[in-house]
Amino acid sequence: MAVEKPGTSNPSQGEVERDLRQLALVDRILGLEAQVARLSILSPDDSGPRGHDFVQRELQTVYSSATWRVGRAVLAPARALRAVARSLSRSAR
């Protein structure tokens, strides 16, 4: 990858890779959260022939993935900040 950037200094290769890794990690966590939400709202009737057991297995697969566990830990501070912000927003109304 070559970058030509007039005027300002370019990000280093390390910075680029760090930012791309951060994007990918956040994406995977939000994606897994969405999968959990989707699976959680499926009732056994909705899931048809796959059944409730399938949903539970899928959920356990998500919960036990390294990406999920690492991501939850990484995003925990952001979650806490958002919760505080929401709380402040509600109390300000």
Partner 1 sequence: MTAPSPSQVPSRLVSIVVAPEFAESPDFEPLLNSLIEQHLTDWELVVASNRLTPGHDRVVKATVPDGATLATALNAGVAASAGSIICFLDATDILQPHAISDLCAAFDGNDEADIIYSDERVDGQPVALKPVFSPERLRSQFYFGSLTAYRRGLIDAVTGVRELPGAELYDLALRASTEARRVERLAGVLVERRPRDGLDAVALESTREALTQHLAATGGGHVESVGTDGVHRTHRAVSGQPLVSVIIPTRGDSANVRGSDRVMVVEAVRSVVDKTTYSNYEFVIVIDDVAPPSIRSQLEAIAPGKTRFVEWSGPFSFSGKMNLGVVHSRGELLLFLNDDVEVISPEWMSALIALAQLPKAGLAGAMLYFEDDTIQHAGHAYYRSDVTHIGLNSERGAAGPDQSFRVEREVDGATAACAVMPREVFFEAGGFTTLLPGNFNDVDLCMKVASLGYQAYWTPYAELYHYESKSRDPRVARYEVATAWGRWEHMFWESRYWPDDPHTLYAAT
**Binding positions for partner 1, rule: CB under 8 A:** 1-8, 10-11, 15-16, 19-20, 22-31, 33-35, 37-38, 41-42, 78, 93
Nearest residue to 23 via CA among 66, 73, 71: 71
Distance CA 62, CA 30 (A): 12
Measured from the CB of residue 15, what is the shortest distance to partner 1 in angstroms? 8
Shortest Å, Cβ 35 to partner 1: 6
Give 19 or 53: the residue with its C-beta nearer to partner 1. Answer: 19
Instruction: CB nearer to partner 1: give 10 or 51.
Output: 10
Token pair 């509600």: residue: 90
Identity of residue 70:
V
Smallest separation, CB 39 to partner 1 (Å): 9
User: Closer CB to partner 1, residue 31 or residue 44?
Assistant: 31
Structure tokens at 10: 């370019």
CA separation, residue 92 to residues 17, 82, 83, 87 (Å): 40, 15, 14, 9
